[in-house]
Amino acid sequence: MKRCMSTALVLAALLSPFTWSQDSQPTKPPAHKSVPKTLGSKEARLSRDRALAWLVKTQNKDGSWARGVIVGLIDSGYSVASFYDWQYAANALACMALLRSDETPARRLALEKGLNWISTSRVPYRGSDWDNDTVWAALCGVACAIDVAKDTRFTDTSTMKKLRVRAKLLLHNLKRNQVPSGGWGYYDDKPYTKRPKWATSFATAMILPVIQDALKMGWMKDHRILARAKLYVRRCRLPNGAYQYAQRPIPRSPAGESIDNVKGSLGRIQVCNWALRATGEVDFITLKRLRQGLKQFMRYHRFLDVARMRPVPHEAYYANAGYFYFFGHYHAAMAIDLLPKNEKEQWHAQLRPHIVKTQRKDGSFCDFLGQGYMVVADTAYAILTLNGGLG
Amino acid sequence: MPTSKLAVLPYVIFLTMLLSTSTIAQESRPAKETGTKQKTESPAKMKKKTVQLRQQMEIARLELEVSELSVSLRERKAKESVRSAKFAVEMAQQTLSTFVHSEAPVKIKESKISFDQAKNRAELAKDELNELIAMYNADEFAEMTKELVLKRGRRNVEFSQRRLAVQAEKLERLQKVELPKKQHELENKLRQAQAKLADSNLEAKKTAIEIKIMKIKAANKIKNLASDLKEASEKLAKIGANAQ
């Protein structure tokens, strides 16, 4: 991500003066489609069901979605293994989306097949010295397994048994990849080491409640792993409510178009607030702070809008990247679910239009590049977001 | 400048010797030509003349030593000049050969790689643009982003095609103008070095002949002086005997 970010910043520096000076004049901006400020649960359910139908329809015969290989020029440069890692992570999210949605025979069948693939396909591994995207596979794979374990439909089933075995392997992978400062990342810097050294606030935060559940279920024994990870995320929080991209003892200046500005942190604020509060940090992430984060999300949402579908990571204002769109919305929905019951619907109603407006004709969603694994992951995140408040 | 002065030095010494030889000859010759007047010369005059001739002999011998030194100096310089000219020819040949057989072909290969890269980049830019178009075709909402990104993609295609055209021009100029020009220059340098070597060889031959002449002249001068001295000494001895 750092590598992508620096590339993106250089590209942005090179391209933006030209782009704006040359392009802003002659082109008449296309008329924007009107987006309602709020959307009810009925429209959300319709949109979600279309997305679920897309998932069911596009599943491969072996139970997987997408392909674990590079399918587009603009996504080249990563290790060969990373494409499988992302496919694995996207498949785990797709299973979570099916699991948390109303069951139909077709969805159940797709879920069973998907979980079987998650449990039996090759165990993801680190692809190269610098590229450690296998962490995404572990983060999402464990989250999926914990979700299934909490679902009574799968108690004592063979699916659950296989999934538990796989989850323990992935947890072991996470344990080995926890950086000395407590977080998880997906790249490493020189000198490359078996245990990487660079982490991000959002990758670490997304797994905190999952690890808490894994500890409760006895899938993991070492409570210090969670304590260190929580401390990492706490240290990333800035006084204005933003979270640093990665922990820095001396934070970047949030001036100008810094990624650590609130406007560059919209996707991270929700996941970090949700994770810390969900793991007991209620005095640190108070309801007031949770609401403040959601208000910031809605107030500056345009910065996520203009970043969505930008093909170069972090090329948009405040170094926003396209792939934070659905990730951010899903965790905003999760943060909303931590609010008092009477507040939830008003927030979900504000969130839904931003999901529904981006749905594609075939029912899928995408925020970055359009590669198969990305569409699966984004569609899954969109379904999980729309599920918020649907009961 | 100091080198040219040194080069002239042997000639200066040579000329000095020639002049001094003629002076001595002029001084000694009247004695021979006025042989009929020998009887009128006084013993004191003859004694003085004998002393003068001895002094001139001594100077002539020293001058011969100097000329021998200058000869070896000129010989050494002539040899060095030839050796240096030969080295320059070898270097010029080697430079030309390296250029023709290695430098020029490598430059052409490099330029062809740059051209092929530009060609590949142009193809990739087209492919990437098509990929972006396909990506946005599926998305109805991101219209603003789509316009910006696709415009950038189209510009990338345009720039990469222009860059390809420039690379093609560069390759052609390299093959048709720059490399032949440089080869021509190197061939000319070789010809100049070869001409300089020929000059140095002729100069060395000329120097050898001049040295030979100089040696003969110096030897003749000493021989003449010795003859004059002998003659004067005999006259002086005869005068002395007649006086007794």
The pLDDT score that the predictor gives to residue B209 is 93
Nearest beta carbon to residue A27 from set B135, B145, B147: B147
Q: Does A24 touch chain B (CB under 8 A)?
A: no
**pLDDT (mean) for A101-121:** 98
A363: burial class by Cβ within 10 Å (0-12, 13-18, 19+)? buried
Q: Does A23 touch chain B (CB under 8 A)?
A: yes
- Choose the most confident range, by mean pLDDT, from A31-40, A60-69, B138-147: A60-69
A355 Cα to chain B: minimum distance (Å): 11
Residue A37 lies in a domain: no
Residue-wise pLDDT tens digits, A218-230: 999 999 999 999 9
Contact (Cβ atoms closer than 8 angstroms) between residue A283 and residue A240: no
The pLDDT score that the predictor gives to residue A369 is 87
The pLDDT score that the predictor gives to residue B198 is 97
Residue A36 lies in a domain: no
Nearest CA in chain A to B137: A360
> Which residues on B lie below 8 Å from A75 (Cβ)?
none
> Which residues on B lie below 8 Å from A23 (Cβ)?
148, 151
Stronger pLDDT, B178 or A22, i.e. the higher one: B178
The answer to whether the CB atoms of A311 and B155 lie below 8 A apart is no
Q: A201 is in which domain, residue-wise?
A: 52-386
Residue A270 lies in a domain: yes
Q: Cα(A315)–Cα(A309) distance, rounded to whole angstroms?
A: 11
- Lowest mean pLDDT across A114-118, B92-96, B209-213: B209-213
How far are the Cα atoms of A63, B24, B53 from residue B47, in angstroms, in the given order? 137, 17, 10
Q: Which two tokens stand for residue B228?
A: 């004059």
pLDDT band at B181 (very low <50, low <70, confident <90, very high): very high
The answer to whether the CB atoms of B138 and A306 lie below 8 A apart is no
The answer to whether the CB atoms of B145 and A309 lie below 8 A apart is yes
Q: Nearest to residue A303, comparing CAs of A364, A242, A212?
A: A242
- Lowest mean pLDDT across A23-27, A165-169, A209-213, A318-322: A23-27
List A200's β-bridge partners, or say none: A184
- Lowest mean pLDDT across A196-200, A305-309, B135-139: B135-139
pLDDT band at A13 (very low <50, low <70, confident <90, very high): very low
Contacts of A58 (CB under 8 A, 6+ apart): A65, A364, A376
Residue A120 lies in a domain: yes
List A131's β-bridge partners, or say none: A187
The pLDDT score that the predictor gives to residue B36 is 47
Q: Cα(A176)–Cα(A194) distance, rounded to whole angstroms?
A: 8
A346 Cα to chain B: minimum distance (Å): 24
The answer to whether the CB atoms of B146 and A309 lie below 8 A apart is yes
Give the predicted TM-score (pTM) of the model: 0.77
**pLDDT (mean) for A349-373:** 95
What is the number of other CB atoms lying within 10 angstroms of the CB of residue A105?
Answer: 7
Q: Cα(B124)–Cα(B132) distance, rounded to whole angstroms?
A: 12
String of DSSP letters for A294-357:
HHHHHHTTHHHHHHTT-SSTT-SGGG--TTHHHHHHHHHHHHHTTS-HHHHHHHHHHHHHHHHT
Residue A149 lies in a domain: yes
**Chain centre to alpha carbon of residue A217:** 24
pLDDT band at B240 (very low <50, low <70, confident <90, very high): confident
B123 Cα to chain A: minimum distance (Å): 12
| pLDDT for A155 beyond 60 | yes
Residue-wise pLDDT tens digits, B38-93: 456 788 888 898 999 999 989 988 988 888 898 899 999 999 999 999 999 999 99
String of DSSP letters for B30-46:
HHHHTGGGGGGS-HHHH
pLDDT band at A33 (very low <50, low <70, confident <90, very high): low
Residue A43 lies in a domain: no
Nearest beta carbon to residue A30 from set B124, B147, B151: B147
Residue A299 lies in a domain: yes
B112 Cα to chain A: minimum distance (Å): 24
pLDDT band at B120 (very low <50, low <70, confident <90, very high): very high
> Cα-flanking dihedrals φ and ψ of residue A237, to 5°?
-75, 135
Element (H, E) at A81: helix A80-99
The pLDDT score that the predictor gives to residue A9 is 35
The pLDDT score that the predictor gives to residue A199 is 98
The pLDDT score that the predictor gives to residue B39 is 55
The pLDDT score that the predictor gives to residue B157 is 96
pLDDT band at A36 (very low <50, low <70, confident <90, very high): very high
How far are the Cα atoms of A40, A77, A273, A333, A389 from residue A337, in angstroms, in the given order? 16, 38, 12, 6, 8
The domain that holds A184 is classified in CATH as 1.50.10.20
Q: Calculate what percentage of chain A has a pLDDT beyond 70.
A: 91
Contact (Cβ atoms closer than 8 angstroms) between residue A140 and residue A84: no
- Tell me the ipTM for this assembly: 0.73
Helix (H), strand (E), coil (C) string for A119-135: HHCCCCCCCCCCECCHH
**pLDDT (mean) for A265-282:** 98
Number of domains in chain A: 1
The pLDDT score that the predictor gives to residue B124 is 93
Stronger pLDDT, A278 or B27, i.e. the higher one: A278
Q: Cα(B42)–Cα(B50) distance, rounded to whole angstroms?
A: 12
pLDDT band at A254 (very low <50, low <70, confident <90, very high): low
Contacts of B114 (CB under 8 A, 6+ apart): B167, B170, B171
> Which residues on A lie below 8 Å from B135 (Cβ)?
309, 311, 366, 369-370
Residue-wise pLDDT tens digits, A200-219: 999 999 999 999 999 999 99
Element (H, E) at B87: helix B43-98
**pLDDT (mean) for B138-159:** 89
Q: Which residues of A195-204 are buried (b: 16+ CB within 10 A; e: fewer)?
A: ebebbbbbbb
B157 Cα to chain A: minimum distance (Å): 14
Residue A29 lies in a domain: no
> Which residues on B lie below 8 Å from A73 (Cβ)?
124, 127-128, 131
String of DSSP letters for B99-139:
IIIIIHHHHHHHHHHHHHHHHHHHHHHHHHHHHHHHHHHT-
What is the number of other CB atoms lying within 10 angstroms of the CB of residue A190?
Answer: 8
The pLDDT score that the predictor gives to residue B239 is 83
